[in-house]
Amino acid sequence: MNIKMIAVLAIILGVSYAAWTLFTGPSSAGEMVSKINIPEFSQVAQSGLVAYEENCAACHGVNGAGTENGPTFLHAFYKAGHHGDGSFVNAVKNGVHAHHWQFGNMPPVEGITDAEIRWITKYVRELQAANGY
Ligand code: HEC
């Protein structure tokens, strides 16, 4: 193997890696989003924010940034087209079997009303919209 081939291989590897991270986003447990636009929340989303911080932020992070216990919602995975609003109801009532990340399973969240889940979903959607998701 000559030096040119090694250089070409290195470039191919570099480009593939960049494409992979671009496509998958932060894929390992523990990565968090650091720059978040906070929109002017609607009334419903403001109620959602309160319920979110009580019930979800421990894992999904303040402002949906993610923590070492759970993923950020500011990610292509959680766009409304991919994870519709029904996935929030399911996640909260039944928990989530780990499938996108390495955080482990999400346990069902107890003591939360259907209305609160709707408010939280609205809150997350407005946060996502303000950040291009
Ligand atoms: C104990 C930690 C924890 C708490 C508390 C928690 N989650 Fe999660 N949640 C997770 C983890 C971990 C995942 C990612 C599972 C995977 O896909 O690997 C997740 C995934 C999700 C998903 C995606 C579901 C899917 O179908 O992929 C939604 C929606 C969600 N959570 C909503 C919520 C809401 C709303 C709350 C608060 C009411 C909440 N979570 C509280 C840990 C948590």
Average pLDDT over residues 86-91: 94
Query: In 3D, which of 73, 60, 65, 89 has the Cα closest to residue 129?
Result: 73
Distances (CA, A) of 55 to 4, 11, 50, 74, 112: 55, 45, 9, 18, 8
- Tell me the pLDDT tens digit for each residue of 15-50: 555 555 444 544 445 568 989 999 999 999 999 999
- For ligand 1, say whether the CB of 124 is within 6 Å of any of its atoms: no
Mean pLDDT, the chain, whole residue set: 87
In this predicted structure, what is the pLDDT of residue 10?
Answer: 66
- For ligand 1, say whether the CB of 119 is within 6 Å of any of its atoms: no
**CB burial string 42-69: b at 16+ within 10 A, e below:** eebbebbbebbeebbbebbbebbbbbee
83 falls in which pLDDT band (50, 70, 90)?
confident
- For ligand 1, atom 7, which residue shows the shortest CA distance? 106
- For residue 67, report the distance from its CA to the centre of ligand 1, in Å: 11
Neighbouring residues of 95: CB distance < 8 A, sequence distance ≥ 6: 105, 106, 107, 108
Report the percent of the chain where pLDDT is more than 70: 77
Average pLDDT over residues 2-22: 60
Q: How many other C-beta atoms can be found within 10 angstroms of the C-beta atom of residue 121?
A: 22
Q: Which of 47, 59, 83, 85 to mutate to test the pocket of ligand 1 (most atoms within 8 A of CB)?
A: 59
- For ligand 1, say whether the CB of 109 is within 6 Å of any of its atoms: yes
- For ligand 1, say whether the CB of 33 is within 6 Å of any of its atoms: no
- For ligand 1, atom 29, which residue shows the shortest CA distance? 88
